[in-house]
Each structure stands twice: as C-alpha cells, then as structure tokens.
Structure 1
Amino acid sequence: MSNEVTVAIIGLIGVLITAVLGWMNGRTRSEVRATRKVAAEARAFAEPTGNGFAEHMRQALDRIENGNAELRRDIGGLRAENRADRENSDRVHAELRQADRDLHQRITDHLQRGDPT
C-alpha cells in the first residue's frame, strides 16, 4: 500500500472519529438542556402540599441534576479523547508525510546517480 493511500485512510479515520464525537457531544448537550428545563419547571410546580409530594419531587430532581453532572463529566471525557485522537492523528499524518518525502528523496537520488536498478 502506498504512503498516499495510508495517509488518506488515516485522515479519513480521524475525520470519522471527530464527526462521531461531535455528533455525540451535540446530542448529549441537547439532552442536558431539555432535562434542565423540565427540572426547572418541575421544581416550580412542586409546591409544598404536606403530603410528601414536594420532597419526592425534589429527590427526583436531585437525581436528575446528578445525572446531568455525570453527563457533563462524560462530555469532558469525550472532548479529551477527541483532542488526544486528533493530536495522535496529526502526529501520524506528519510522520507519514515525512516518510513519503524521504522515500521520494531516495528515489530522486537513485535516479540522479543513474543506477540501473
């Protein structure tokens, strides 16, 4: 497999990983916004009635907020993974470009010397 094909494949994989992580990040953010809105509405609705409903509602809202905090941590982890993948992809891409330049230089030197092989 030539270096150009390898570079193209690695670049494509990097783009696909970035696209998937971006899509997951956007979806998770929209879920967090929707949940936060519902939690705010429910908290306003949960007036004390003396039957324990408000306490149960507050406990449910606390669980939702804890879930949102976990989602935010997951988003942070996904961003870190995405950054690391992008940096790794850039490094590998640079190494392959350098290997391609080195190979091209060796071929050029070989042809300039006039070697028959």
Structure 2
Amino acid sequence: MHVEPLGIYSLRFRTHADVPAGSSVALSNNGANSSRGLRLLQDQGLIRLRSSGDGTFATVNDIADNPKRLKFVEVAPPQLPRTLDDVALSVINGNYALKAGLTPAKDALGLVRAEGNP
C-alpha cells in the first residue's frame, strides 16, 4: 500500500515562526486525517496534545497547549488545497496536494515522517 505524506502548506509563510498568533489552520474534518494532522502540528512544535492515550484519535479538544492561539477550521479533505488562499496554514493529504500541483518535498513546511508512522 502506498500512502502520500500529510503535509503542512502555506502560500503566505515560509516557516512556522513567521505564522502570527491567532492565525487560522485548515485541518481535515475526517477523524483519522484530523488526528494525523494534529500529531504533525505537534511534531512541528506548533501545538501540544494531551499526554493521555497515544494520540491516535486526537481531536482539537485534545490540544493542551497552543502558544500561537491557532484557530482550527475543519474542511473536507479534497477541499483543503482550496483553503490556502484563506488560511495561514493548511494540513493537506499528499494525494490532494499532488492533484493541486503542490510538490510535498519542496512546498510543505513540514511532512509526516515515514519512520514509525502507521
């Protein structure tokens, strides 16, 4: 089975540090992909999830620390690339990023690591 990596994309910012406090982040409204996106945001240091459980089924309600006070907008996965004009960051499934003309290795500010990823 081949799975494209989930990535964090932005048209406005080149690094996470550039994202201002209170910015909006588009995230999948699909439970599994939303959890993957939240774990990626945590891995990139943007949020911290509660330590209870393994984080497999994390939701925005499981965010324990959000230093930039990011606001989350849940969107159907195929529509995530279209959010790039309206949000600071969008967590996009690799297959939809590719269909939108994005190159994950070049355009993503952060990608899911293959190692240890179920």
TM-score by length of 1: 0.19
Find the structure with the greater CA-based Rg. Answer: 1
TM-score by length of 2: 0.19
Q: More helix by proportion, 1 or 2?
A: 1
Q: More strand by proportion, 1 or 2?
A: 2
